[in-house]
Structure 1
Amino acid sequence: MSAGALGSELLSEVKEERLDELLHSLRALNAPEDQYSFGIPALDDLISIFHPSKPTRQIVQQHPKTWAPNPHHNPPAPKPPPELRLPVIELAGATACSGKTQLLYHITATTLLPTHHPRSNIPIPNTEAAVLLFDLSSTFSILRLHDTMHACVAASHRQAGTPLQDPLALITTALQHLHIYRPHSLPSLLSALSAAEPYLLSTPRAHLSSARPLGLIALSNLTAFFWPARLEAEELALDTDPTSTSQTHFLTQHRALVTSLRALQHTFSCPILATTNTLSPPVPIPEGIKLRPHMPPAWTNFVTVKLVLQREMVPKFRPEISAEEAEKERGMRGEAVRKKGWRVGVDWWGAERWRESEREGVRGWRGLRFWVGGEGVSFGN
């Protein structure tokens, strides 16, 4: 074999990769085991079903071997590595006051807060990262987030048995790493997503989060633009071509939304959390519940797991109860309502796309419940 043929054969075995792909692979390889931890054990267990810990790196021993040229040998082209799947979680509210927004506040708070109190060095089960939040309905309350963060810090000090020291400074510093966009339409959201990456990767003087990783991309009330986008698509179809279908433009916009989110998530390697409203009630099935989606397929196929949140209900008064009896039972009923919390279940719609190991894992998941009180959010099963 000539030197040129030998060089061509050796060159064909060399894997080519862009610099951004190499850096992304290195970051995934050296990521901590709890990279996608939300600080809620039951939720972390569920996420680990779809995103198990990375496999232990294997050390390959190099054994000396002789190379014999083979003129008929044509090594296959190297296969590209499989795309790294990152968590995309949808919180769907089956009814009003379903608890999805409260859960979003809690996860945002634990992502922003530091892992240790700077003065007392009390460990806090948080991420100490930045959060990119798209408030699509302009209802996200910083005051409510502040109260949630205060409750998280106070709970950590109670568990440690130490007095709470200067929580305001701690929370104020953490809030500086929350970056909120408030788009007013679906095209505006697409523009905001395009502008987010250059903004976050800009010079440190542009924002204060240059030294922090991006820990969460959150979309509050993703369904806020559903009906306006459909109306806009129908009007556009009538103005341009009466014979065209409005569904095409509507689906194209949501495909662009998913493409932008996937690119942003790939750059920063962080989970996506979105809250949505539903149009139909969940249907009980042997495995759990199913909820018919109304978002376009581009979004439903993008989501890793959809969680359905429901408030635990207290039975109503008996129809034959008198006003006096109802007045007497008011206190006990109020106490029963306060003890009830919110239950989180997995939506089994589209479960045929899951792997068999994922279906078995979800069947064995113990579930999640949480309560909201004066001391913040508490979790259980």
Structure 2
Amino acid sequence: MSVNVDEGARKLGEKCLGEVEEGDLGDVLKSLRELRFSRGDGTSTQAPLPPIFSGIPALDALLPAHQPHLELISPPPSHHPSGSGKSSLLYLIIAHAVLPPSLASISLSGQNGALILFDPLHHFSVSRLASVMLSILHTRLNDAGKELNVAELRSLISSCLMHVHVFRPQSWAAMLATLRALPEYLFDGSRHRSMHRRIHSIVLEDVDAFVWAIRSNTHISQLHQPNSTTQNTLSTASAQLTSLLHRLTTQFSCSAILTSHSTTPTSFRPALPLSWPQDMSVTRLAVRRVGVNKFKPQVSVEEAEGERAKRWEVVSRGRFECWKVVGVGGKDGEGFVFRVGGRGVRVEEGAE
């Protein structure tokens, strides 16, 4: 009798073990994310929910609904002396990523997440991000007719800034090493306060910052390996980077955002060629200042003087355009315009 019981227990154990599916943390996080796209009874909604990547409707309209990855590309620095607006748009994305969904029952369109930022050129400004966040809060509360408690708002901003984790690698090797060490850092609750928040994005600003160093190392290696080429080395560097990002974004069910200058004013291709894995949905967005029309041919001095004030007014507005890149720098008709001011960044409603 005991033998039969033991045999039955063994078979039952084997059957149960066979029904167990192995998975890792990435699978768990993915399943949790998918719950946001289903009803409480477990059935899917008839129509897909609107994209909620950034909480910026004009931007979200350009992106796939689930876990988008972005390349923000601007013209070369020589194209315009006063900047392209790429960093300002990034500040707006980061602000929405870490702000709460609402405040005093007023929607902020925040994602209540944490964000990892790589800033190799030390361009990122915490004070500028705080100003953008404060501008969002002021606008939403004023529109709702709510009184502003400055101390409360500053406390909220200070709390949100704790969830922006900034790394400043000084070399390509250091950046790759830091990316590899991210899981260890993020799972160590003694090193940060974002354990209770999901990772919204991993942002690599100025990913082209190390292109010249990579090329320089190539020239040195060519002395020892004559068959190596600059293009091969850049391709290898790109593969290393995108492979790491693919692994991390899968593990944490988050997005990747890379910013770069293009090689020419019209191509809108990153200076470091990026070879993404096929299962990553990457959207390339071009960002540049809205240009001022050139003077007409044979315009007189008097006419030029008359138009100067109007032209300066256009420039002083700080208007920038963003659109989805199709092919080599082409537009697909989808995009938006945003303004950059002393205190914040605002998307123009209905502008394309």
Is TM-score (shorter-chain normalized) higher than 0.5?
Answer: yes
Q: How many angstroms apart in 1 are the aligned matches of 2:284 and 2:295?
A: 33
Question: Do the aligned residues in 1 keep the contact of 2:97 with 2:113 (CA within 8 Å)?
Answer: yes
1:119-130 superposed matches below 5 A: 120-130=104-114
1:213 matches 2:191 = no
SS across alignment from 2:272: coil
Which amino acid in the other structure matches residue 175 of structure 1? L
1:272 matches 2:249 = no
Which amino acid in the other structure matches residue 38 of structure 1? S
Q: Which residue in 1 is equivalent to 2:5?
A: none
Question: Do the aligned residues in 1 keep the contact of 2:206 with 2:259 (CA within 8 Å)?
Answer: yes
TM-superposed CA distance for 1:234, in Å, is 2.4
Question: Do the aligned residues in 2 keep the contact of 1:129 with 1:215 (CA within 8 Å)?
Answer: yes
Q: Which residue in 1 is equivalent to 2:209?
A: 224
Question: Do the aligned residues in 1 keep the contact of 2:106 with 2:140 (CA within 8 Å)?
Answer: yes
1:169-208 superposed matches below 5 A: 169-203=155-189, 205-208=190-193
Q: Which residue in 2 is equivalent to 1:44?
A: 60
Question: Do the aligned residues in 2 keep the contact of 1:111 with 1:129 (CA within 8 Å)?
Answer: yes
Residue by residue over 1:235-275, the C-alpha shift from the partner in whole angstroms, topping out at 9 and shown as x without a partner, is 1232x323444544432222111111111111111111111
Q: Which residue in 2 is equivalent to 1:296?
A: 273
Q: How has the CA–CA distance of structure 1 residues 299 and 222 changed in structure 2, closer, same or farther, with 3 Å as cutoff?
A: farther
SS across alignment from 2:338: strand
Q: Percent identity?
A: 31
Which amino acid in the other structure matches residue 91 of structure 2? Y
Q: How many angstroms apart in 2 are the aligned matches of 1:149 and 1:377?
A: 9
Q: Which residue in 2 is equivalent to 1:159?
A: 143
Q: How many angstroms apart in 2 are the aligned matches of 1:349 and 1:22?
A: 34
Q: How has the CA–CA distance of structure 1 residues 236 and 347 changed in structure 2, closer, same or farther, with 3 Å as cutoff?
A: same
1:348 matches 2:316 = no
The counterpart of 1:91, out of the listed 66, 72, 88, is: 72
Question: Do the aligned residues in 2 keep the contact of 1:293 with 1:300 (CA within 8 Å)?
Answer: no
1:23-42 superposed matches below 5 A: 23-32=28-37, 33=49, 36-42=52-58
TM-superposed CA distance for 1:281, in Å, is 2.6
Q: TM-score, normalised by structure 2?
A: 0.79
TM-superposed CA distance for 1:317, in Å, is 4.4
TM-superposed CA distance for 1:190, in Å, is 0.2
Q: How has the CA–CA distance of structure 1 residues 29 and 315 changed in structure 2, closer, same or farther, with 3 Å as cutoff?
A: closer
Which amino acid in the other structure matches residue 219 of structure 1? L
Q: Which residue in 2 is equivalent to 1:109?
A: 95
1:372 matches 2:340 = yes
Question: Do the aligned residues in 1 keep the contact of 2:322 with 2:335 (CA within 8 Å)?
Answer: yes
Identify which range, 228-237 or 188-197, moves more after superposition.
Answer: 228-237
Unaligned runs of 5+ in 1: 1-5, 53-85, 284-290, 352-361
SS across alignment from 2:96: helix
* Total equivalences in the alignment: 319
The counterpart of 1:18, out of the listed 23, 28, 52, is: 23
Q: How many angstroms apart in 2 are the aligned matches of 1:37 and 1:158?
A: 25
TM-superposed CA distance for 1:198, in Å, is 0.8
Unaligned runs of 5+ in 2: 1-10, 38-48
Residue by residue over 1:273-317, the C-alpha shift from the partner in whole angstroms, topping out at 9 and shown as x without a partner, is 11110112326xxxxxxx455433525966611111122212244
Question: Do the aligned residues in 1 keep the contact of 2:324 with 2:334 (CA within 8 Å)?
Answer: no
Q: Which residue in 2 is equivalent to 1:252?
A: 236
Q: How many angstroms apart in 2 are the aligned matches of 1:168 and 1:250?
A: 44
TM-superposed CA distance for 1:221, in Å, is 0.9
TM-superposed CA distance for 1:92, in Å, is 0.5
Q: Which residue in 2 is equivalent to 1:82?
A: none
TM-superposed CA distance for 1:138, in Å, is 1.4
Q: Which residue in 1 is equivalent to 2:7?
A: none
Identify which range, 103-112 or 336-345, moves more after superposition.
Answer: 336-345
Q: How many angstroms apart in 2 are the aligned matches of 1:160 and 1:142?
A: 27
Which amino acid in the other structure matches residue 43 of structure 1? L
Q: How many angstroms apart in 2 are the aligned matches of 1:112 and 1:38?
A: 10
Instruction: Give the aligned CA root-mean-square deviation in angstroms.
Output: 3.1
Q: How many angstroms apart in 2 are the aligned matches of 1:46 and 1:377?
A: 19
Q: How has the CA–CA distance of structure 1 residues 246 and 281 changed in structure 2, closer, same or farther, with 3 Å as cutoff?
A: closer
Q: TM-score, normalised by structure 1?
A: 0.74
Question: Do the aligned residues in 2 keep the contact of 1:105 with 1:145 (CA within 8 Å)?
Answer: yes
Question: Do the aligned residues in 2 keep the contact of 1:314 with 1:340 (CA within 8 Å)?
Answer: no
Question: Do the aligned residues in 2 keep the contact of 1:42 with 1:366 (CA within 8 Å)?
Answer: no
Question: Do the aligned residues in 1 keep the contact of 2:51 with 2:63 (CA within 8 Å)?
Answer: no
Which amino acid in the other structure matches residue 154 of structure 1? H
